[in-house]
Amino acid sequence: MTTTSNVAAPPATPVPQHRSAARRRTPASMAGAAVKYTLVLLFLIIVLMPAYVLVVTSFKSGSEIGVSGQWDLPERWTTESWAKAWSALRPSFLRTIELAVPVALISSLLGAANGFVLSRWRFPGADVVFTLILFGMFIPYQAVMIPLRDIVTTIGLPPGIPTLIFVHSVYGIPICTLIFRNYYATTVPEDIVEASRVDGAGLLRTFRSVILPVSIPGFVVTIIWQFTSAWNDFLFAIFLSNTRNGPITIALNALAGAQSPDYAAAMAGALITSLPTLVVYILLGRWFIGGLMAGSVKS
Amino acid sequence: MTKNLRRWGPGLLLLSPSLILLAVFVYGLIGWTVKVSLSDQHDALGSKGFVGLDNYVYLFTEDINGRFLHSLRNLAVFTVVFMVGTMLTGLLWAFLLERGVRGEGVFRTVYLFPMAVSFVASGVVWRWLMNPSTGERAGGLNAIFQSLHLDFLQSEWWTNPQWGMSAMAMPAIWQLSGYVMALFLAGFRGIPNELREAAAVDGASTFQLYRRVLFPQLTPVALSAVIIIGHMSMKMFDLIMSVSGAQWLTEVPAVYVWQALLTSDYAKAAAISVILLLVVAVVVVPYLVYTDRQEKRA
């Protein structure tokens, strides 16, 4: 049993319900079903509650945010808080696109190359090397942050987005390597690689003509994963950039972090910040889950 | 030798950019941080003399008001509540959905959606929900409890000096229970159907089926989930910064590092970081070794 093969077939794939046919309609089973549906609906409401607050509050004007009627629908629906939030976040929104897209592409390419070598072009000690790579995805980044700030300046990376592109790409290598290694190990038969080898094809030609054409699902997963991580990151951003050159999380934190913030604008800002990753999640949910599952390494 | 080189050389060459980057930026920089933590570089000028383990001893014994121990206690409370909360909620959700629910996809999508949102964004709304005012000026969740005549549920949330960190874990539970659910659902679906059928033939009740057949099969998934949630908890930073900002009440080691750096106390920040790394490594390294062995056996 493995959760790692889910890159190919994520659990979001509908599984036939074998048991439903066998279920009989006894009073006990109907009571059980009632409890079950009550619970799943209750949890649905609880999980959605913060989303309700975000949406409703964001359409209020800053002056309507008082103590009374906090949970009510706006008396007057207005987009003025959205406009306020957008003007505060727009520059950083664009910068975050400039950050997250290259990060997703660079670390995915490196991850594909590594994953291929570590699964299908193995050398003695490949497992040890793999484990050493993997460790990089678990470390608390504080443990590298102090010298990291100096070293990126020393090697001459411009502050802000270029620095963050580099840093996210490097620390994204472990997870992308893991995803591609598991992907190739489960979807590319060893024989095909071996046959290509026997035919005299070198590593790069095998990678290009045999592996890359079947890699698209793996790329979708790593690109989504890296895009989301870079978009949502706050830790690297706060250590390595500021509100003038940093990504959107920094700008949102500045907008919402004041002692008594304008909650209407802050919540509109939180929605604007979350929109890209939410759209990705809703449209490409099953691949999103594939990346999540890969995070569990093995089971 | 040359034959081996020709066979394995190209692979190593393709791998080498990543290996060099990780060697420098993971292992090299960790080494550097350790070196700083053993120095007396407590300001931007920095004398950089070697002081052995003094910074570590200081954190545990002399830190003003026991600040570091306080941050460890906060982290412990947070971690326990966060882990127990996500594991139980995630398992319950997986259990409910695994049994076949109409519209399962909708529930699964909704339960998992907070995972796509950043802690910084969700922190905005949770800060609002966990408004500590009560009575006349009640807001957020407290206002809901009041209007439902459940006043006794009103809480100071994270502003409680004793157990505030357990309230701080609520947004984290909200955000990651869906993830644990997804892991468990994948686990349930990985169990061969024959096992269920065999149990049914043997006349096992539903309770026995779960207790004796299905749950034991989920142990490896549960282990993965505990490790992932656990190491996320150790690193928790964004959420706390977003909900409360950096302040004494909710300080954890990851936030303390940030605060120490603001005053340019590099040696202290480095020592806290190294302790944090060690705590994570104690949990993660055995896990990585274990999964590597499992894989070899398979």
CATH superfamily of B53-119+162-297: MetI-like (1.10.3720.10)
- Measure in Å the smallest separation between the Cα of B226 and chain A Cα atoms: 10
| Residues 193 through 222 of chain B touching chain A, CB cutoff 8 Å | 193, 196, 217, 220-221
- Closest B-chain CA to A37: B101
What domains are defined for chain A? Answer: 80-294 (1.10.3720.10)
C-alpha–C-alpha distance, residues A74 and A61, integer Å = 8
Domain locations along chain B: 1-37, 53-119+162-297
CB-CB contact of A233 with A249 (8 Å) = yes
Q: Which of A58, A241, A46 is nearest to A153 (CA)?
A: A241
Q: What is the pLDDT along chain B (298 residues), one digit of tens a residue?
A: 677 777 788 888 899 999 999 999 999 999 999 999 999 888 877 667 889 899 999 999 999 999 999 999 999 999 999 999 999 999 999 999 988 888 888 999 999 999 999 999 999 999 999 988 877 777 888 888 888 888 878 888 888 888 899 999 999 999 999 999 999 998 888 888 888 888 888 888 888 888 888 888 898 889 989 998 998 999 999 999 999 989 999 999 999 999 999 999 999 999 999 999 999 999 899 888 888 888 777 6
pTM: 0.89
How many whole angstroms separate alpha carbon A225 and alpha carbon B160? 36
Chain A residues whose beta carbon lies within 8 Å of the beta carbon of residue B32: 146-147
Tell me whether residues A114 and B18 touch, CB distance under 8 A: yes
Q: Which of A20, A133, A293 sits opposite B22 (nearest CB)?
A: A133
What are A25's two structure tokens?
Answer: 């309609």
Contact B96 A39 (CB under 8 A): yes
Tell me which chain A residue has its CA closest to the CA of residue B94. Answer: A40
How deeply is A191 buried, as exposed, middle or buried, from its count of CB atoms within 10 A (0-12, 13-18, 19+)?
exposed
Return the closest-CA partner of residue A211 out of A199, A197, A194, A193.
A193
DSSP-derived 3-state class of residue B25:
helix
Contact of A13 with chain B, judged by CB distance below 8 Å, is answered with no
